[in-house]
Amino acid sequence: MTAAEGGAAPAIMGDPGAAGRFGEFGGRFVPESLVPACMELEAAFRAAWADPAFRDELSSTLASYGGRPTPVTECPRLSAELGVRVLLKREDLAHTGSHKINNVVGQALLARRMGKTRLVAETGAGQHGVATATAAARYGMACVVYMGEVDTARQALNVFRMELLGAEVRPVTSGSRTLKDAVNEALRDWVATVEDTHYCLGSVMGPHPYPWIVRELQRVVGDEAREQCRVLLGGADPDVVVACVGGGSNAAGTFAGFADATTSALVGVEAAGGAAMANGIPGVLHGMRSNLMQDEAGQILEAESISAGLDYPGIGPEHAHLAAVGRARYETATDAEVLDAFQLLSRTEGIIPALESAHALAWVVRAARAGDDMVRPGATVLITLSGRGDKDVAQVRELLA
């Protein structure tokens, strides 16, 4: 039955089904040896997600350990400067300093339910690695985190945090020595150790069921934000909802709370040097079909970003689908704009954002000052502040010197 015949319209951000497809994107493009592991993971997640006991344990852990719900914060001084009402969804206040804890607690509980005793993960800015190491410590699991050699240098503090939590950090020296290559090594590890290891993938990317699992575990961000905004706005929704996008987990979680339940405009902001939506074309990488930065021969191009967490040459397949159907718009921010936004929020509101999150703010600043129709004077804009900037202060100090 169609919607016109009286049936419910299919959800824009719904279940991608056994094929793991978001329109033409997604899927499961992995070696034959990994297909059973992916199918086992999908079956385990479906069973867990339908189990009230699992959902209750996840919710209670995120509340008592993860610090949920995180608040929505008004930004009066920044709002006055930009001429729009700016609200921040404060994932920087979650345990470990970013939204990543929502996903890793869920995946760690799932791994334990599946009888796995070891977690492997990839990380760029280090926040997912720190969160994975944190969950592994809480549940008594071994943990190995793969991190590009370039990123271990610019995020040395997070490397120490992971090691302090008991994880082994393995620098990756192949390729660009950044996030893409860390994903490659984590996948190789999982192939070789799948009997006792769960790959705790950090973003809405990779082979099915990962993009769906991570989105559902991050949906709490958008669901909370929608209800919090309705309280602040007298039952109304924000005009625009904005989040930064690398693979896109914080954006997918945020958008999931608004895509079907509201008419709020959705904007994802990529790094200008890694803009898979602006400069990419469909292709296959890391087990998924999505928009990727590649040359005419199909070779993956290197992404460049001031932010280690957005230094990825692709985008999660559901984001590619949201753009294709017109439900979300994807923009870019340059390194210079990001540095300005980083300082602006710090100076006006006393909140130091992660460089990743500063991309979302940078686009809002530019759009408001340029008179973009979407960010018209008086509009209400919700920005997901996906992480705090402690990890980036030393890097920013050097860049501004």
Confirm if 311 and 303 have CB atoms less than 8 A apart. yes
Which residue in 297, 282, 132 sits closest to 200, CA to CA?
132
Cα separation, 212 vs 334, in Å, equals 29
Which member of 38, 75, 143, 200 is catalytic? 75
SS3 (DSSP) at 154: helix
Q: 77 CB contacts (<8 Å, ≥6 apart)? A: 348, 349
Q: What distance in Å separates the CA atoms of residue 56 and residue 37, rounded to the nearest whole number? A: 26
Give kind and range of the element (H or E) at residue 159. Answer: helix 156-164
Task: Check 38, 99, 198, 229 and give the catalytic one.
Answer: 99
**99 given a catalytic annotation:** yes
The two tokens of residue 110 are 């799932």
Please give the DSSP secondary-structure letter assigned to residue 236: -
Q: How far apart are CA 71 and CA 74, in angstroms?
A: 10
Judge whether 189 and 197 are in contact, CB under 8 Å. yes
DSSP string, 246-260: SS-HHHHHHHHTTTT
- By C-alpha distance, which of 184, 191, 194, 132 is closest to 163? 132
Give the torsion sign (CA, 102, 108, 109, 114): positive
What does the block give as tokens for 380?
A: 């209400």
Separation between Cα atoms, residue 233 and residue 122, nearest integer Å: 39
CA-to-CA distance for 135 and 303, rounded, in angstroms? 29
Angle between helices 52-64 and 35-49 (to 10 degrees): 80
Q: So which residues are the catalytic ones?
A: 75, 99
